Amino acid sequence: MPLEIVRNDITKMKVDAIVNAANESLLGGGGVDGAIHRAAGSGLLAECKTLGGCKTGRVKITGGYNLPAKYVIHTVGPIYNDGKHGEKTLLESCYRESLALAKERGCETVAFPLISSGVYGYPKDQALKVAIDVISDFLLENEMTVYIVIFDKASYQIGEKLFSDIAEYIDDNYVDEHTDYSRERIRMNALPPMAPHKRRKKSEDDILETCDCKAMPLEDDLDAKLKQIDESFSQMLLRKIDEKGMTDTECYKKANIDRKLFSKIRSDVNYKPSKPTALAFAISLELSLDETEDMLRKAGFALSHSNKFDIIIEYFISKGNYNIFEINEALFAFDQSLLGA
């Protein structure tokens, strides 16, 4: 998956480069900065002392030393005032320049913290949106796997209205279906017990009579059915790409799918994707709810109101919002699997 939100300790990420939310001195500090310096060891500080600091919105690079990552890209995020002093532009620059430098060094995997969202005070939901927007724009033109690393739930927040709207939608759909089931269970439990004479076992004659039937000529019918087999998931996907006037690259990048997986799907007419992958392509193609259901059936799946993941997907489709990165933000906030490979 080209862009993934994960809950982890960034110092333990096995990637080509991790990004450090540093201060201008580059000499270490609190939070992520301090954790990275402690994990990397004294060699990191010694190299940082040679760099002459770093301005807000800019980047510098060092080795990873004792970290699993080969490089540490240091960037200085803005201190949030009121959002009217160029904070957003500076924060965008942190992500954009970090990605450009990672590409220059040949990195295939990069992990970011949520820059400026800690002691620098940038509102977490806004900081997340800036990160998603800049990274997703970069990935539309470049091949790289990028992680946004969240240390814990307290470090992560989507917009309050969006969260409450989704929670209400889940409640309206999820609870109703389970309430119906509960009512049916209560009704069945309220029925009087069946009389003993009505629970008698079938006699041998009853069983033989039931089984006394002629064998049906199944082979011919089965052959006829198999000749009428419907198009596969792969065939429908490629047909829809053509109908939408998209290129293959546009489709798999919008789906948050990497090129290797798409090549497998294209070359195998009987490829069976996972449900998140199938839905990712439905979102990329901006399919209606009915079309999405049809595509899922090709892969052997269906949407269900007994599944929060499915209800959240349905919510975004019903709202006409096909931004897969915003959908993944919401899925992560509700502890669900993300869309993509």
Mean pLDDT to the nearest integer, 31-49: 96
Task: Give the pLDDT confidence score for residue 64 in this predicted structure.
Answer: 98
pLDDT higher than threshold 60 for residue 327: yes
Residues 91-132: tens digit of each pLDDT: 999 999 999 999 999 999 999 999 999 899 999 989 999 999
pLDDT higher than threshold 60 for residue 230: yes
8 or 174, greater pLDDT: 8
- The token pair at 272 is 């069976």
pLDDT higher than threshold 90 for residue 296: yes
pLDDT band at 176; cut points 50, 70, 90: low
Residues 64-88: tens digit of each pLDDT: 999 999 999 999 999 999 888 899 9
Q: In the chain, pLDDT over 90 holds for what percent of residues?
A: 70
pLDDT higher than threshold 60 for residue 318: yes
Task: Give the pLDDT confidence score for residue 186 in this predicted structure.
Answer: 47
Question: In whole angstroms, what is the distance from residue 54 CA to residue 209 CA?
Answer: 88
Ordered by where they begin, the domains of the chain are 3-155 (3.40.220.10), 160-180+231-341 (no CATH)
Task: Give the pLDDT confidence score for residue 316 in this predicted structure.
Answer: 96
Count of Cβ atoms closer than 10 Å to residue 287 Cβ:
20
Mean pLDDT to the nearest integer, 4-22: 95
Task: Give the pLDDT confidence score for residue 158 in this predicted structure.
Answer: 72
Mean pLDDT to the nearest integer, 183-208: 52
Task: Give the pLDDT confidence score for residue 168 in this predicted structure.
Answer: 85
Residues 231-263: tens digit of each pLDDT: 999 999 999 999 999 999 999 999 999 999 999
pLDDT higher than threshold 90 for residue 222: no
Mean pLDDT, all residues of the chain: 87
What is the enclosing helix (H) or strand (E) of 122?
none
pLDDT higher than threshold 90 for residue 271: yes
Q: Coil, strand, or helix at residue 22?
A: strand
CB 38 within 8 A of CB 51: no
Q: CA of 33: how far to CAs of 46, 73, 74, in Å?
A: 15, 11, 9
Any idea which residues carry the catalytic annotation?
33
Mean pLDDT to the nearest integer, 32-57: 96
Q: Indicate the burial class of 170 (C-beta count within 10 angstroms; 0-12, 13-18, 19 or more).
A: middle
pLDDT higher than threshold 90 for residue 161: no
CB 102 within 8 A of CB 75: no
Mean pLDDT to the nearest integer, 291-305: 95
pLDDT higher than threshold 80 for residue 197: no
Give the predicted TM-score (pTM) of the model.
0.77
Task: Give the pLDDT confidence score for residue 160 in this predicted structure.
Answer: 72
Count of Cβ atoms closer than 10 Å to residue 49 Cβ:
12
Task: Give the pLDDT confidence score for residue 284 in this predicted structure.
Answer: 97
DSSP characters over 36-79: HHHHH-HHHHHHHTTTT---BT-EEEEE-TTSSSSEEEEEEPPP
Task: Give the pLDDT confidence score for residue 203 in this predicted structure.
Answer: 55
Task: Give the pLDDT confidence score for residue 194 in this predicted structure.
Answer: 52
